[in-house]
Amino acid sequence: MNSWQYLVHTALLGTEKRTLEQAQLRPSVAALLKKFSESDPESRFLNLATLAYVYERAGKLPLHSTADPFIADEDVSDDCASSLEEIFQTLLDTKPPNPEIWAYLLQKLAKDQTVIPIQFLTPVFQLATQNAFKSLQPLIPMVSGSRGKWLGQQHKAWTFASPKDPLASWETETNENRRKILMNLRAKDSKQALVLLKQAFDSERNARERKALIGTLQIPLVPEEVRFLEIVFDQLDPNAAAEKSASTSLRNIIMERLLSSPESAVFNHTVANLGKYFQLKRIIGLKGKWSLHVPDAPDDFLQDGHMQKFMGFDPTLSNEGMLKTKFWFSELVRNLHPMAWEQLLPELNWREIFQIFEESTWYLPKLAYALARTRYRKAVLAYTQEYVVDASNYFMLHALSNLELEKYVMHKSQGILSEYLIELLKRPDWVWSRPFSRFVLQCLLAPRSNGYHYSEIPRMLSLHPHFDPEVLPELESAFLSPSRDFQVQLLQQQVLAPMHRLILLRTKINAL
């Protein structure tokens, strides 16, 4: 025990109960004790403690460290444009922070292959852990640089900054995660993904899980994948008792995929059999006209038993009065790659093919054809036709180009933007045209039936990356003519001013 510790012990008990003993003190400190009068023990103690305290503080030495620092892999450069630092600082100072503008900045950095300046790594990572900003996490590995990745390895909440190699954890991941890994890998390297898929499929006994694995093969397929699916389809026993329904739906999904691939034998077999349902009516002096004739009575191809097996439907199901030739034909139209019709009717364009379907007396083929075309990202049919593009065919809207979507929304919306349309308008990297920006703002700024705008404010601010910057001054002058109306002031403070700020930031980010 050193002198200071001894003095602490004495102080705890008090001088009334414990007197200072010279023997317990270092000789140098004990020598000082003699200088103080014993008549006042408290003063004597405090004087000695004061000296020991100063002595202790001044003489304390650092410890020899045995810790092994975990050093970052490589040195980083802090040379970054001052404008970039300024943008980061401004965004960090903006209260409340706006997730869209952060995403906009990170996307811009990723595009320019720039990294976040090291002094802003920590605040950005902290921001990305908040619920409202979790959408930034996938962007961060692209812009965090080597220091950011190293930092992500140190902090358990920042692992998003240095994502692990998914293949390293392939064996131990859950089925759901394995499917995600497969889909991500397929986007980069379809061959390697197929190898993994084969392994997983062969080792998997559960038909539902097998179906889910096949589901990762989204169209379009590569030839190797088509061959794999053909082999699997041939191996599947349509009469297998175990998990029959799951097994049947597995056959069904494989057939869907094969019909979507012009390289597959199934596709070619189908095309070869469909030609007989189209008839050319020749009129002298005019161009012949094609028409569709699907018989009501089953023939050798559109026959329930054959189609059930062919399309992967459960053959044990009773089909009396249920499955008709036209239904089977519609199913084929829906699943077949639109190229099939171009092969069948090579002298016609897609509008003429659609015309044939449209003129048929039954509804299904024209819709099925429209769906198929949008499914394969072919040009979408007339968007003004309500039966082709509507809310129930949401993915059709996705197939529209930006310009088409603008026209569609302006045509369809009667001054009110539905929730699903607002979500559609958030396409990345899409800056609306000025008329459309004006239209959206007018929709959002129009007073609601209850006279309040409040509910639209956060939505409006979240859409700011898409507005044409030039539209705001126009709107300001239109909406904010000299008026003391409370709501106009509210709009100025809560919408237009922040929107102005955000758009200004966007302009600065673009100029980086």
> What residues line the site for another protein (CB under 8 A)?
4, 7-8, 11-17, 41-43, 45-47, 49-50, 53-54, 57-65, 67-72, 75-76, 78, 89, 118-119, 121-122, 125-126, 147-148, 150-151, 154-155
CA dist list (Å): 169 to 164, 187, 193, 206, 367: 8, 18, 14, 21, 44
Any long-range contacts for 179-187 (C-beta under 8 Å, 24+ apart)?
Answer: 179/212, 179/213, 179/215, 179/216, 182/213, 182/216, 183/216, 183/218, 186/216, 186/217
Minimum CB distance to another protein smaller for 62 or for 428: 62
Q: The tokens 């414990």 sit on which residue?
A: 18
Minimum CB distance to another protein smaller for 42 or for 224: 42
Minimum CB distance to another protein smaller for 52 or for 440: 52
Residue 405 CA to its chain's centroid (Å)? 21
Bond into 220 cis (ω within 30):
yes
CB of 211 to another protein, least distance (A): 45
Minimum CB distance to another protein smaller for 155 or for 276: 155
Measured distance CA(350)–CA(163) in Å, rounded: 45
CB of 110 to another protein, least distance (A): 19
Minimum CB distance to another protein smaller for 71 or for 283: 71
CB of 101 to another protein, least distance (A): 20
Minimum CB distance to another protein smaller for 147 or for 464: 147
* Beta strand residue intervals within 246-385, DSSP E: 278-281, 289-292
Which of 182, 91, 73, 176 has the alpha carbon at shortest distance from 136? 91
Measured distance CA(365)–CA(327) in Å, rounded: 9
Contact 395, 374 (CB under 8 A): yes
CB of 168 to another protein, least distance (A): 23
Minimum CB distance to another protein smaller for 84 or for 372: 84
CB of 154 to another protein, least distance (A): 6
Minimum CB distance to another protein smaller for 157 or for 382: 157
CB of 3 to another protein, least distance (A): 12
Amino acid code (one letter) for 437: S
Minimum CB distance to another protein smaller for 78 or for 189: 78
CB of 73 to another protein, least distance (A): 8
- Dihedral sign for Cα atoms in the order 384, 386, 387, 388: positive
CB of 103 to another protein, least distance (A): 21
* Max Cα distance, the chain (Å): 138
DSSP letter for each residue of 380-398: PPPTT-TTTSSGGGHHHHH
The structure tokens listed for 362 are: 């039954």
Minimum CB distance to another protein smaller for 46 or for 110: 46
Which of 269, 260, 206, 186 has the alpha carbon at shortest distance from 229? 260
Q: Taking CA 21 as the corner, what is the angle to CA 16 and CA 22, rounded to the nearest 5 degrees?
A: 145
Contact 3, 26 (CB under 8 A): yes
Residue positions counted in the chain:
512
Minimum CB distance to another protein smaller for 60 or for 281: 60
DSSP letter for each residue of 101-170: HHHHHHHHHHHHT----GGGHHHHHHHHTSGGGGGGTTTHHHHSHHHHHHHHHH-GGGGGGSPPPGGGGT
CB of 182 to another protein, least distance (A): 34
Total Cβ atoms within 10 A of residue 24: 16
Contact 3, 10 (CB under 8 A): no
CB of 81 to another protein, least distance (A): 13
Minimum CB distance to another protein smaller for 2 or for 199: 2
CB of 162 to another protein, least distance (A): 13
CB of 212 to another protein, least distance (A): 39
